[in-house]
Amino acid sequence: MSFKNITLPSGSYLCSYRQLDIGNKRIDPLLHASCYYALFNKCIDVGNYEAYYDLFPVHFRKDAAILPSADEVTYQPYNIDWIKYPAINYIIGWNINNRDNDKLFFLYSTVKNFKNLTIWKRKRFKDTLT
């Protein structure tokens, strides 16, 4: 909950990113934390699996941005090609290793660092050319 006092612009798309494999645990605290953060701050949580599947009464709007699959976000965020998803404005990362940090740094800049938590903001396109 370290990032609860950070305000992101309303309507921002945010994505959780953690390096640790949670295996078959029933609850992933980071994914739930970002979901609640998005709910209370009027942001879009890209990891909201209910919005991907027809099993729930919640859905992303038909005109929503192109997003990675729910499986990628939940189980393999390190394989996501972030260039393909320019709508994802913010990434909330937990225990990110140096390799993934370097990968994200190309498109995102660090907003805030806590102990094991980092929040990245997507750079403007012209900033990625330098």
The pLDDT score that the predictor gives to residue 23 is: 58
pTM of the model: 0.79
E strand or H helix at 87? none
Q: What are the pLDDT digits (tens) for 22-81?
A: 555 555 666 677 777 788 888 888 888 788 888 888 888 888 788 998 888 877 888 899
Q: What is the mean pLDDT of residues 77-86?
A: 90
Distance CA 66, CA 3 (A): 26
Distance CA 70, CA 74 (A): 6
The pLDDT score that the predictor gives to residue 130 is: 45
